[in-house]
Amino acid sequence: MSKLKELQDRSGSICELCSANEGLSVYDIPESPNVGLDSSLLLCATCKRQIEDVSTMDPNHWRCLNDSMWSQIPGVQVMAWRMLTRLRSEGWPQDLLDMLYLEDDILGWAKATGEGEDENTTIKHLDSNGAILQAGDNVVLIKDLNVKGANFTAKRGTAVRNISLVHDNPEHIEGKVSGQHIVILTKFVKKS
């Protein structure tokens, strides 16, 4: 039995990412540690073209990953993660990525092409005026802030020196105020 026929049987003759039923062909997943069917998907021409040529990318086409990312087929999970990672700047894919859980070996496979490695460079921490914040910067609070759990209020105009960035959330920074290490929302600071 040919690989195409086996993939058609596995998928029910639909694209394993978007469920289209026309223009289907075999797609070999790059950097796959597996062989045979586990390293291939049955994809429609639209999905295959957009995966291979990012200049043809239509973010709305990939909303189909909301359903296919839950597939039990590891190759489908890998390609769903890779495409959501490519599109995370659109906003909605990040929500799906936050929900998607991959076993360590499957996540390693998904990252094997280098997808997501530049994650920290794409996240920008911006102050209330839109200035880019970097680790080690000094900022000033622009609003009185009640510090939860520390029973004090950080007053407007307080300088926070040598901040550090929260790498997975562009809206948070960390710094010391009144001897307490706290998390501060970037919208309440300005770079000094």
* Residue 169 C-beta-side C-alpha neighbours within 13 Å: 11
Tens-digit pLDDT profile for residues 28-70? 999 888 878 889 999 999 999 999 998 899 999 999 999 999 9
Q: What pTM was estimated for this model as a whole?
A: 0.60
Q: Identify the band that residue 122 occupies on the pLDDT scale cut at 50, 70 and 90.
A: low
Distance CA 130, CA 25 (A): 46
| Contact between 71 and 106 (Cβ < 8 Å) | no
For residue 147, give the amino acid letter: V
Phi-psi region of 160 (alpha: psi -120 to 50; beta: other; left: phi over 0): beta
What residue spans define the domains of the chain?
A: 3-119, 123-191
Distance CA 166, CA 184 (A): 10
Q: Identify the band that residue 120 occupies on the pLDDT scale cut at 50, 70 and 90.
A: very low
| pLDDT the model gives residue 37 | 86
pLDDT reading at 119 higher than 60: no
| pLDDT the model gives residue 19 | 94
Distance CA 150, CA 24 (A): 59
The arrangement of secondary structure in 123-191, i.e. its CATH architecture, is Roll (2.30)
